[in-house]
Amino acid sequence: MLEVHGKRILSGIQPSGVLHIGNYFGAIRQHIALQEDNQCYYFVANYHAMTTIHDKDELTQNTLMVALDYLALGLNPQKAVLFVQSDVPEVTELAWMLSTITPMGLLERAHAYKDKLAKGISPNHGLFAYPVLMAADILIYDSHLVPVGKDQKQHVEMTRDMAEKFNSLYGEVLTIPDALILPEVAVVPGIDGQKMSKSYGNTIEIFCDYKTLKSRVMSIVTDSTPLEAPKDPDNSTIIDLYKLFASAEEVEAMRQKFLAGGYGYGHAKKELLEKIWNYFEPYRKKREELAANMDYVHQVLREGAFKARESAEQVMDRVRKAAGVVRHISFDKAFM
Ligand code: ADP
Ligand code: TRP
């Protein structure tokens, strides 16, 4: 686990689909562990998701589901601040200010953007400006560390560039953040053996029902070694997934059964299925309780928004003064 203490930590989660076990082992679990010794701010990046989702019900539903999932998986609102990005609209104000100092070339070099172009996606301005909004997300809370997967590293570097440029123009106003690259101890494979990702359609969801989980696990792609024959435990998606849920002894036992033969992939998948189902059982219970009490979830998000906005307001005060942005009224806290 990550050894980080006493830092202001911030990360955003795009509500672009249902969370899967790759997200859990690659990000969510670390996010939640960091809440113990740090001041963590986690938000659902619904403005970012608007670059790809244009269905209002889908956006609303996904936004609430991510919050619900984080709470079910152990995010403690007494320890960490959980909120929705759009509850702090000042972030779009800061994004605008940053966009006025961000060179086009910097954005044109963004890998995530270039990848989307290469896939033939016709880009909207939001997709192009995505890193500027992400920089505003980070800078508006004076964040020290941004725990993200390595795919997001460049966006954090761009954030630093923007903050340095802003500070060189206006004085030491913005805190320069660092990326905390989440260790890929577990690049979780999907059911086809490639990296698990929504965009490959190869995911196993954290909170699906048993029947769906069973059909996903049973669909894990294997070679056609017959049941009686020995099997290779070192190149098996089943074992790679099993490692995430089982003890070292259990993994070794499965490896031996592979090597011995007389043990089919179907048997191994059944063992994996039970492990996954049981692993998430307490979280599933918690999630059911929360889903039956959405008022509580909304209350958590309201309190989170309040704390986040209070903190953002302080930074914006500095930013506006430094840049000479005149304001004649303030609605501070009037919304409560
Ligand atoms: P997806 O690829 O499904 O769109 P995201 O890019 O939204 O997933 O993932 C958010 C974070 O979850 C990533 O930054 C990464 O840290 C983690 N993550 C996603 N998929 C995996 C995976 N297969 N293995 C490990 N971590 C993952
Ligand atoms: N771009 C991030 C992702 O796709 C989500 C995100 C938006 C984010 N704003 C952020 C992550 C700020 C860290 C900090 O995963």
**pLDDT, tens only, 60-84:** 999 999 999 999 999 999 999 999 9
Beta pairing partners, 41: 10, 81
Ligand nearest to the CA of 49: 2
**332 confidence band (pLDDT: 50, 70, 90):** low
How high is the mean pLDDT of the chain?
95
Active site residues: 116, 195, 198
| pLDDT above 80 for 336 | no
Quote the pLDDT of residue 185: 58
Q: Whose CA is nearest to atom 18 of ligand 1?
A: 23
In this structure, the residue with its CA closest to atom 21 of ligand 1 is 22
Query: Which residue, chain included where needed, has tokens 């033969």?
Result: 261
Q: Mean of the pLDDT values across residues 160-184?
A: 95
pLDDT digits (tens, 9 = 90+) for 262-288: 999 999 999 999 999 999 999 999 999
Per-residue pLDDT at 334: 47
β-strands 80-84, 145-148: how paired? unpaired
Contact 204, 195 (CB under 8 A): no
Q: What's the helix, strand, coil split of the chain in %, to 5? A: 55, 10, 35
| Nearest protein CA to atom 10 of ligand 1, as residue | 23
Q: What values do phi and psi take at 212, rounded to 5?
A: -65, -45
Beta bridge partners of 148: 181
Nearest-5° angle of CA 98, CA 178, CA 175? 50
Nearest CA to ligand 1 atom 1: 197
Instruction: Please choose from 148, 151, 160, 182 the residue to mutate so as to test ligand 2's pocket, defined by most ligand atoms within 8 A of CB.
Output: 148
What are the Cα distances from residue 16, in Å, to 21, 54, 248? 15, 11, 34
Average the pLDDT over 16-26 and give the result: 93
Residues with CB under 6 A from ligand 1: 14, 22-23, 25-27, 148-149, 151-152, 182, 186-188, 195-199
Name all domains of the chain by residue range, CATH numbers in brackets: 8-187+294-335 (3.40.50.620), 208-279 (1.10.240.10)
What's the mean pLDDT in 138-159?
96
The answer to whether the CB of 48 is under 6 A from ligand 2 is: yes
Ligand 2, closest atom to CA 27? 15
Mutation probe of ligand 1 site: the residue of 42, 197, 198, 199 with most atoms within 8 A of C-beta: 197
Q: Is the pTM of this model over 0.75?
A: yes
Strands laid side by side in the 80-84 sheet? 80-84, 39-44, 8-13, 145-148, 178-181
